[in-house]
Amino acid sequence: MALTIISMASLRSETQIVPVNSPQASSFTTTVQSSLSAVFPSRIKHSLSSILTKFHAGYFRISLSLGGQALLWKTLIGPTHDKSTLRHVVHMFHPTAFLLLWCFALFILSLLSLLYILRCFFYFKMVKAEFLHHVGVNYLFAPWISWLLLLQSAPFVAPKTTSYLVLWWFFAVPVVALDVKIYGHWFTKGKKFLSTVANPTSQISVIGNLVGAQAAASMGWKECAVCLFSLGMVHYLVLLVTLYQRFSGSDRLPAMLRPVFFLFFAAPSVASLAWESITGAFDTASKMLFFLSLFLFTSLVFRPALFKRSMRRFNVAWWAYSFPLTILALASTEYAEEVKGSIAHILMFLLLSLSVLVSLGLTIFTLLNTRMLLPDNDPISGLYHLPIVSP
Amino acid sequence: MDHKPEPEAVPSLLQLISSNQVAGFDNIPVENKFPGPINVCQATGGHERAVSVSISMPSSPTAAGGRGEAKVFEIGVPDSCKASESIGEYKEAKTVKFLSQPMPKGSILGEAATIKDTNQHPSNKKLKDKRYDSFKTWSGRLERQLSNLRGRPCEIESEDDSSPNFGNTEPLPLPLPVDRYFDALEGPELESLKASEEIVLPHDKTWPFLLRYPISSFGICLGVSSQAIMWKTLAIASSTKFLHINLAINLVLWCISVALVAIVASIYLLKVIIYFEAVRREYFHPIRVNFFFAPWIALLFLALGVPPSVTSKLPAALWYILMTPIFCLELKIYGQWMSGGQRRLSKVANPSNHLSIVGNFVGALLGASMGLKEGPIFFFAVGLAHYTVLFVTLYQRLPTNETLPKELHPVFFLFVAAPSVASMAWASIQGSFDYGSRIAYFIALFLYFSLAVRVNFFRGFKFSLSWWAYTFPMTGAAIATIRYSSAVTNIVTQTLSVMLSIAATLTVTALLVTTILHAFVLRDLFPNDIAIAISDRKPKPIKKWFNRRHGSLDNNKDIETFLKFVSVDSKDIEAALKVPTAEATSE
């Protein structure tokens, strides 16, 4: 069965997709059209359809970043052993401001989730195409990670309550299910061996496991936490080696997606935080993971040429810069709390300001350029619209 | 035949032609570097790029050895000069037809080049110097500055022609892509030139000493300073106290190491100052680049092995100073691995990469023994992550990997270095030889034995100075064993530590003897460093030329066209065309 891409030529004039029209496609088209027309008036239908077709899981980077920021600020204004002035200053961040931030993050995430659910209903074939793509599949973790982050940073849901537990299960089970599917592919499925599909976004799956572990540990469910942690770390090890080898060079990733290189230092940071949640203190293992993350960050920062091509035009991939920076800042906060030296606090201050600036800048930029957010010829969403022949 | 009138006539004629024909002439030699009878020079190769690599006559190992001086063109020599020099080569090579008779090489060049002075001897000497100019810092300008300062007018005069052409904005030559190194070189250390390749420096002459001095000479410092550490540990450790080793041995070895480091470093510093291009080429060599860590690791070893009588406490600032160059270097190198370009790990992984990893662990060990806390953990973490990656890659022996020697070579001993030093570093960080250290130590021990039982396979390799770098893993394993035996003291561990120490000492002694032998008796301790002199073009139609005795027609067409004009005896086209055949068959 050749997977046909629905070309909504009747709704949009541009033809970015490869139209492989068969009778079943056109009948599907009419079904879609009829279902849509049944629900919405025509103009809204047009714009909604165009949004849904251009939307893809990569847009959840926005909610990832916002969720990360929410978690960061919740940690910063929370109770702490850190007696330094910096922490004191930061503590003055008003709780209402944090609540606003969290609500904003929740709003964005709900909106994105709703859009994606609609997309699943009306354009399931596109979602399937995403799933079969080596970059797109990793972003299917992003919604669940965002929800887990929001859950952890929720101001009114305490970790040990039943609602937290239920919600955790609700968000963690899809992560594990996706794990089983994707990691299994890595070493069993013919066309999808790790050596061919590995790319920096594969680390999102690792991050998913680790965030789940962190959330579980804060609930007190240590065994679940350790289980997810070990899953994440084992695959991180494999992925680290594979990605460093760059077996197939850098051509697996289009130049526009270079910001995802920042995920290289996101994964160890999340691992460090997760281990800290499990053991209760920022011990040597957490420190080592934090230092590794810091080193990788430095190494990427000293390679601006790597990112030049992707910075030419604004696209949603730019949001990939924000979440890793936020998580690194969070890890440095924990580190500074543990180590209590002035260098650690300076580092924390620098990373904190960087992450806030980047997130704020990206938000403002996005709000000013909403039209560019869903471009007509988005090179990234164009990636997923490849005709795929399922075996 | 009269030489005199012709040489005067020829240059102007040739110049005229060459400036017209430059475009056509350009096409010939760029691809055609072959040790054939007609020595096509790549002057135009230098012509099309503002690069300081000067071209020599093809002097590949397969060419007839005593074949004439390499005539080398530098940048900045005016095109007419270049072309006429190449014509000079033609004349010389051909000894036929168009120019009358073999003329003394010196005079041809003296006339063909429009350099003012026609003095043969200085020109010969200068030519010899000029061959290495491309490797000199700023293409020899620095040297000229220095000699200007010293007031050597004859040099200035001769360089007057070239100086206007040495623009101040002369760019650095482009770095050689790593593929060139893989294509041109072979061997476990990528030292030997492949038969089809050429080098840009003369093959038959001994190069200046500094050009022959590789970065791998720092291996001696590594080897000797690690011995100093070993004898210090033997004297101090509780489990080996029964041997009653005197600390004086450590003092003597340490002083020798300091002297060695100072000597090697100053010589290499001279090389950096005078022959910067050669240093750059070493940096871009996929194996030699790892040796750039060696000086700093040697300094770390010195700090680790410092005798208690000299000082007992080192300042913490020293550690930061020593680790900064290692940090910067590894940012660069690991970043290259990660960014997936031409120097990605799957392509360049080789056992020498261990040298870039070991620095982290040695730094962690030193820092922890100095009492620092966070810094050692930082470097340990970074080293561990990258060591895992490297270890897996090397074990995989990826098919895309070109540099792994198929047979065993002493470089494989570097596998033992990282786990043994890591185990000691972790023990220092944790304060005791705990399970993590023991795991790392046992891995090191296993690798050591699996190599030691294969010692037969290590025969038959040409000695090189970099072998010294491969002794420090053996010493490191011995030191780790001594530390382990201090934690777990029984007869087995003590015997093991003694045995490994003896093995390390014997190896170093044997290597010392071999080095002295090569240095003073055989006098080939520093052979011509072929690895840095590879050309940046693949010599393509070599085989064609050899096979067909004509060269490929399209390549030869321009040569022959050129030769037509060149023939002042007004030979006809057929004669000109017959030239290559005659020449080829006469070879």
Can you give the pLDDT at residue B198?
Answer: 74
In the numeric block, the tokens 């972790």 are attached to B426
Can you give the pLDDT at residue B323?
Answer: 95
Alpha carbons A232 and A266: distance in angstroms, whole number:
13
B325-373 tens-digit pLDDT: 999 999 999 988 877 677 777 778 888 899 999 999 999 999 999 999 8
Helix (H, G, I), strand (E, B) or coil at B246: coil
Question: Is the per-residue pLDDT at B584 higher than 50?
Answer: no
ipTM of the complex: 0.76
Interface test with A, best of B179, B333, B339, B434 (most A CBs within 10 A): B339
Is residue B492 less than 8 Å (CB to CB) from chain A?
no
Is residue A229 less than 8 Å (CB to CB) from chain B?
no
What average pLDDT score do residues B363-391 get? 93
| CA distances, A210 to each of A19, A157, A348, B233 (Å) | 40, 21, 22, 43
Can you give the pLDDT at residue B49?
Answer: 45
For residue A25 the two structure tokens come to: 């496609």
- B41 alpha carbon, distance to own chain's centre: 25
Taking residue B329's Cβ as centre, other Cβ atoms within 10 Å add up to 17
Rounded to a whole number, what is the distance in Å from the CA of A317 to chain B's nearest CA?
Answer: 18
Show residues of chain A in contact with B337, CB under 8 Å.
244, 246
* Residue A240 · residue A264 · CB < 8 Å: no
More confident residue, A380 or B38: A380
Q: Which DSSP string corresponds to B282-343?
A: HHHSTTGGGGGGHHHHHHHHHHHT--TTT-S---HHHHHHHHHHHHHHHHHHHHHHHHTSTT
Instruction: Give the residue from chain B lying closest to A338, CA to CA.
Output: B374
For residue B453 the two structure tokens come to: 């039982």
Topology of domain B209-532 in CATH is Glycosyltransferase (1.50.10)
Crossing angle of helices A124-132 and A95-122, in 10° steps, is 100
Alpha carbons A153 and A170: distance in angstroms, whole number:
16
Alpha carbons B250 and B256: distance in angstroms, whole number:
10
B140-155 tens-digit pLDDT: 565 566 666 665 544 4
Instruction: Give the residue from chain A lying closest to B392, CA to CA.
Output: A241
CA angle at residue B474 from B473 to B477, to 5 degrees? 85
Q: What is the pLDDT along chain A (391 residues), one digit of tens a residue?
A: 443 444 444 444 444 444 444 445 455 555 665 665 565 578 888 888 888 888 888 889 999 999 999 999 999 888 887 777 777 777 777 888 889 999 999 999 999 999 999 988 888 888 888 888 888 888 999 999 999 999 999 888 787 888 888 999 999 999 999 888 888 877 776 666 777 778 888 899 999 999 999 999 988 888 889 999 999 999 999 888 888 877 655 556 777 888 888 999 999 999 999 999 999 999 999 999 999 999 999 999 988 888 888 888 888 888 999 999 999 999 999 999 998 888 899 999 999 999 999 999 999 988 888 777 777 666 666 666 644 444 4
Is residue A78 less than 8 Å (CB to CB) from chain B?
no
Is residue A193 less than 8 Å (CB to CB) from chain B?
no
Taking residue B181's Cβ as centre, other Cβ atoms within 10 Å add up to 22
Q: What is the amino acid identity at position A234?
A: V
For residue B532 the two structure tokens come to: 């840095």
* Residue A106 · residue A70 · CB < 8 Å: no
* Residue B386 · residue B357 · CB < 8 Å: yes
Is residue A239 less than 8 Å (CB to CB) from chain B?
no
Q: Using pLDDT thresholds of 50, 70 and 90, give the confidence band for residue B438.
A: very high
The residue count of chain B comes to 587
Q: Which DSSP string corresponds to A135-180?
A: THHHHTTHHHHHHHHHHHH-SS--TTSHHHHHHHHHHHHHHHHHHH
DSSP H helix total and E strand total for chain B: 24, 2
The residues pairing with B186 across neighbouring beta strands, listed in sequence order, are B192
Pick from B340, B346, B388: which is nearest to A237 by CB? B388
Rounded to a whole number, what is the distance in Å from the CA of A261 to chain B's nearest CA?
Answer: 9
Is residue A304 less than 8 Å (CB to CB) from chain B?
no
* Residue A82 · residue A340 · CB < 8 Å: yes
Cβ distance A339 to B374 less than 8 Å, yes or no, reads: yes
Cβ distance B344 to A249 less than 8 Å, yes or no, reads: yes
Cβ distance A244 to B400 less than 8 Å, yes or no, reads: no
Alpha carbons B145 and B314: distance in angstroms, whole number:
42
In the numeric block, the tokens 């206007």 are attached to B164
Alpha carbons B551 and B545: distance in angstroms, whole number:
4
B residues 300..339 contacting A (CB < 8 A): 331, 334-335, 337-339
The residues pairing with B127 across neighbouring beta strands, listed in sequence order, are none
Instruction: Give the residue from chain B lying closest to A339, CA to CA.
Output: B374
| CA distances, A82 to each of A69, A78, A79, A280, B372 (Å) | 20, 11, 9, 15, 22
What torsion, rounded to 10 degrees, do the Cα atoms B13, B19, B20, B22 define? 130
Alpha carbons B500 and B480: distance in angstroms, whole number:
10
Q: What are phi and psi of B243, to 5 degrees?
A: -80, -20
B residues 95..124 contacting A (CB < 8 A): none
Pick from A237, A245, A288: which is nearest to B393 by CB? A245
B245-291 tens-digit pLDDT: 888 899 999 999 999 999 999 999 999 998 888 888 888 888 889 99
Dihedral sign computed on CA atoms, order A223, A226, A228, A234: negative
Rounded to a whole number, what is the distance in Å from the CA of B350 to chain A's nearest CA?
Answer: 12
**Burial code of A365-380, b = ≥16 C-beta within 10 A, e = fewer?**
ebeeeeeebbbeebeb
Can you give the pLDDT at residue A31?
Answer: 60
Q: Which DSSP string corresponds to A47-89?
A: HHHHHHHH--GGGHHHHHHHHHHHHHHHHHHS--S---HHHHH
Q: What are phi and psi of B536, to 5 degrees?
A: -95, 10
The whole-chain average pLDDT of chain B stands at 72
Residue B283 burial (CB < 10 Å; 0-12/13-18/19+)? middle
For residue A349 the two structure tokens come to: 């201050």
Show residues of chain A in contact with B331, CB under 8 Å.
295, 298-299, 302
A residues 264..283 contacting B (CB < 8 A): 264
Is residue B388 less than 8 Å (CB to CB) from chain A?
yes
Q: What are phi and psi of B435, to 5 degrees?
A: -60, -40
Pick from A240, A249, A339: which is nearest to B340 by CB? A249
Domains of chain A: 55-373 (1.50.10.150)
Alpha carbons B482 and B231: distance in angstroms, whole number:
11
B399-412 tens-digit pLDDT: 656 656 666 677 88
Closest Cα partner for B437 from B496, B502, B499, B484?
Answer: B484
* Residue A172 · residue A215 · CB < 8 Å: yes
Is residue A243 less than 8 Å (CB to CB) from chain B?
yes
Alpha carbons B409 and A377: distance in angstroms, whole number:
55
Write a three-state SS string for B412-468: HHHHHHHHHHHHHHHHHHHCCCCHHHHHHHHHHHHHHHHHHCCHHHHCCCCCCHHHH
In the numeric block, the tokens 């695959």 are attached to A235
Interface test with A, best of B338, B392, B428, B437 (most A CBs within 10 A): B338
* Residue A111 · residue A373 · CB < 8 Å: no
Can you give the pLDDT at residue A223?
Answer: 87
Is residue B392 less than 8 Å (CB to CB) from chain A?
yes
Q: What are phi and psi of B199, to 5 degrees?
A: -120, 155
Alpha carbons B77 and B87: distance in angstroms, whole number:
15
Strands B192-193 and B185-186: antiparallel
Rounded to a whole number, what is the distance in Å from the CA of A207 to chain B's nearest CA?
Answer: 18
Alpha carbons B52 and B277: distance in angstroms, whole number:
9
Can you give the pLDDT at residue B551?
Answer: 47
Of all helices (H) and strands (E), which one includes residue B231?
helix B218-236
For residue B357 the two structure tokens come to: 């990893």
Alpha carbons B280 and A181: distance in angstroms, whole number:
48
Alpha carbons B73 and B133: distance in angstroms, whole number:
10
Question: Is the per-residue pLDDT at B566 higher than 60?
Answer: no
Rounded to a whole number, what is the distance in Å from the CA of A246 to chain B's nearest CA?
Answer: 5
Q: Using pLDDT thresholds of 50, 70 and 90, give the confidence band for residue B440.
A: very high
Instruction: Give the residue from chain B lying closest to A284, CA to CA.
Output: B377
Rounded to a whole number, what is the distance in Å from the CA of B313 to chain A's nearest CA?
Answer: 23
Pick from B345, B382, B385: which is nearest to A246 by CB? B345
Can you give the pLDDT at residue B576?
Answer: 45
Can you give the pLDDT at residue A248?
Answer: 57
